């Protein structure tokens, strides 16, 4: 499937069940990287606007660049009342933005879908001199608790193309060529998402590599997910744990 179309049938789940980002992440952007309330920021691969919202709440002007019309509409529906918000149909490789028009680019949970060579050319074109790109992922932890380890086994057993599209192939070494020589910086922050079973099943369905109702893998997957939840929940909750990884610098 074209990566720009992968989430068209999962927009509702994405809006309801995907995690946001911690206050520590936003503080890092504004206190360390140099974001300002007066900054113009392109959120490239903005999806349903989860990260866009956090930047708007800081007072920054944000252009949400998103090629998927269903996801872009979800962002517009939620965020159109914010001053400084603009949504455009575009991609990392062809944003449609003017030369030297943005102070920063953020890519939250999206860069692994991009053509990196074309995106680097485009980012250089739209960034102002000295502007920076910031790549962010909420990386799901796969070890450390019986729940995390069991959940990852389910993805590997029942996922449609999990090994192919998972962003675990993103490493500092792999990202270094995208940035100016010696210019890549990294930071990380913990993030915990407590989920009941309804939220857990919704979170799973928001992943583009997981089967939806009607697929032969769906029923056995949900059966085993319920068993895993029953075996690992505490007070009706499991902890879906992440490490938020931030890579940034000039490109």
Return d(Cα 107, Cα 42) in angstroms, integer.
Answer: 9
Neighbours of 224 (CB within 10 A): 15
Question: What is the number of residues in the chain?
Answer: 251
Q: Residue 196: is its pLDDT beyond 60?
A: yes
11-48: pLDDT as tens digits: 777 778 888 999 999 999 999 999 999 999 999 999 99
Nearest Cα to Cα of residue 169 among 251, 244, 111, 91: 111
- The pLDDT of residue 169 is 61
Quick: pLDDT tens for 142-193. Answer: 999 999 999 999 999 999 877 666 555 678 999 999 999 989 999 999 999 9
> Contacts for 162-170 with beta carbons within 8 Å, 24 or more apart?
162/209, 162/210, 164/209, 165/3, 165/6, 165/112, 165/208, 165/209, 166/209, 167/109, 167/112, 167/137, 167/139, 168/139, 169/112, 170/111, 170/112, 170/137, 170/245
Is the per-residue pLDDT at 6 higher than 90?
no
Q: Model pTM?
A: 0.89
3-140+167-192+241-249 under CATH 2.40.50.140, yes or no: no
What whole-number distance in Å separates Cα of residue 105 and Cα of residue 64?
10
Contact 28, 247 (CB under 8 A): no
> So where are the chain's domains?
3-140+167-192+241-249
């Amino acid at each position: 499937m074209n990566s720009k179309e992968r989430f068209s049938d999962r927009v509702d789940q994405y809006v309801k069940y995907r995690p946001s980002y911690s206050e520590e992440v936003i503080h890092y952007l504004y206190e360390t990287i140099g974001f300002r309330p007066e900054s113009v920021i392109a959120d490239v691969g903005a999806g349903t606007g989860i990260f866009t919202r956090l930047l708007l709440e800081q007072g920054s002007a944000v252009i949400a660049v998103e090629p998927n019309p269903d996801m872009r509409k979800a962002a517009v529906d939620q965020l159109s009342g914010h001053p400084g918000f603009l949504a455009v149909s575009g991609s990392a490789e062809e944003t449609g933005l003017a030369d030297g028009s943005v102070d920063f680019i953020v890519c939250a949970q999206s860069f692994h879908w991009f053509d990196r060579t074309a995106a680097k050319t485009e980012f250089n074109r739209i960034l102002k001199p000295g502007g920076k790109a910031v790549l962010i992922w909420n990386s799901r932890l796969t070890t450390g608790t019986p729940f995390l380890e069991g959940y990852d086994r389910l993805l590997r057993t029942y996922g449609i193309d999990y090994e192919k599209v998972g962003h675990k192939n993103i490493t500092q070494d792999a990202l270094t060529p995208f940035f100016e020589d010696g210019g890549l910086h990294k930071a990380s922050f913990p993030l915990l998402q407590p989920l009941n079973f309804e939220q857990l099943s919704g979170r799973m369905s928001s992943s583009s590599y997981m089967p939806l109702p009607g697929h032969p893998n769906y029923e056995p997957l949900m059966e085993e997910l319920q068993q895993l939840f029953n075996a690992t929940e505490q007070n009706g909750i499991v902890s879906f744990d992440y490490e938020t990884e931030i890579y940034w610098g000039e490109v």
